[in-house]
Amino acid sequence: MKSVVTGVAGFVGSSIADALLKEGHDVVGIDCFVDYYPREMKARNLEGALANPKFTFLEENLLRVDLSKLLDGAEWIFHQAAQAGVRASWGDTFQIYTDNNITATQRLLEFVKQGPAQKTVKKLVYASSSSVYGSAETLPTTEQTIPNPVSPYGVSKLAAEYLMRLYATEFGVPTASLRYFTVYGPRQRPDMAFRRLITSTFVGEPFVLFGDGEQSRDFTFINDIVEGNLAAARASTSELVFNLGGGDRVTMNHVISKLEEILGKKIAIDRRPRAHGDARHTGADTSLARKHLGFAPKTSLEDGLRAEVEWVRSSLS
């Protein structure tokens, strides 16, 4: 099997690439190293893949790359490339989100719809987000819940997801959109809460907590997200959208307490007001993914936190 992974140097993209290579697949990865966080962090994510002869890397932008070269012979496409960040998506920077999250996705779909890839691509798996729900009224939230994003980032992810649905229903492009619920674990982005929390504790700085800490999230370990992606690529189901959540919906205050136990020290907290665009609660109903993809998260929150703690420790040494 030949696979293409967009955003391959990122947290999830690099993890998917490594899993595919471990299974013996040929993988082509593309990344343009947007400057949302330091390039050297993303470069480290690719070290294992680059040492594998079955991996080919293209440092190019999806908005300009020759898609016939990128997608030549591809059977699976894992579309992870996106401009990340809820808080950074307001104001003038929104253009970056429309370019990288919406226009790049449409360009990819348009090529698969009418190009040579139409004959070879068996599944295009898109990384959507629980941000499309906003502050959902019902928890756990099903895929039938009407999306109501509370950030421009969430709007951009939902728009791209709708494009996936349109090209599937109108042109038969085989797509699956996976709504990730707060992914954590080794390689997590430096702006995400767990990474900031663990790093600040190791370096002796207060952790900046936005809000009262009673906001809750459905935290999902990276290995479970990777398994969900591979299952979606293999599945023949006609369902187009799936929630991927870890089943561990807890408050940030609970996470802080759990990390204090793991680290054996008190964590200094710098409390700030709630940030614009942050949903109060998220929680995934994963019934559809369990039924059609066999999705069954295996990693508990405590085990996942311990894995991320050890990874951050080693990355700081």
Question: Do you find a cis peptide bond into 140, omega within 30 degrees of 0?
Answer: yes
Question: Taking Cα atoms as reference points, which of 222, 220, 231 lies closest to residue 76?
Answer: 231
Are 251 and 214 in contact by the 8 Å Cβ rule? The answer is: yes
Q: Which of the residues 37, 153, 180, 184 is marked catalytic?
A: 153
Question: Taking Cα atoms as reference points, which of 21, 29, 77, 80 lies closest to residue 48?
Answer: 21
Residue 317: the pLDDT is 83
Q: Give the dihedral sign, CA 32/16/177/56.
A: positive
Please work out, in degrees rounded to the nearest 5, the angle formed at the alpha carbon of residue 219 by the alpha carbons of 218 and 225: 110
Using a 10 angstrom Cβ sphere, with 0-12 exposed, 13-18 middle and 19 or more buried, the burial of residue 214 is exposed
Q: Active site includes 126?
A: no
Please enumerate in sequence order all residues whose Cβ is within 8 A of that of 252, keeping only pairs 6 or more positions apart, or say none.
193, 209, 211, 213, 214, 215, 216, 217
What pLDDT tens digit does each residue of the chain (317 aa) get? 899 999 999 999 999 999 999 999 999 999 999 999 999 999 999 999 999 999 999 999 999 999 999 999 999 999 999 999 898 899 999 999 999 999 999 999 999 998 788 899 999 999 999 999 998 889 999 999 999 999 999 999 999 999 999 999 999 999 999 999 999 999 999 999 999 999 999 999 999 999 999 999 999 999 999 999 999 999 999 899 999 999 989 999 999 999 999 999 999 999 999 988 888 999 999 999 999 999 999 999 999 999 999 999 999 98
Of the chain, the end-to-end C-alpha distance in Å amounts to 37
Using a 10 angstrom Cβ sphere, with 0-12 exposed, 13-18 middle and 19 or more buried, the burial of residue 51 is exposed
Q: How much helix, strand and coil, in percent to the nearest 5, is found in the chain? A: 45, 20, 40
The CATH number of the structural domain formed by 2-316 is: 3.40.50.720
pTM: 0.97
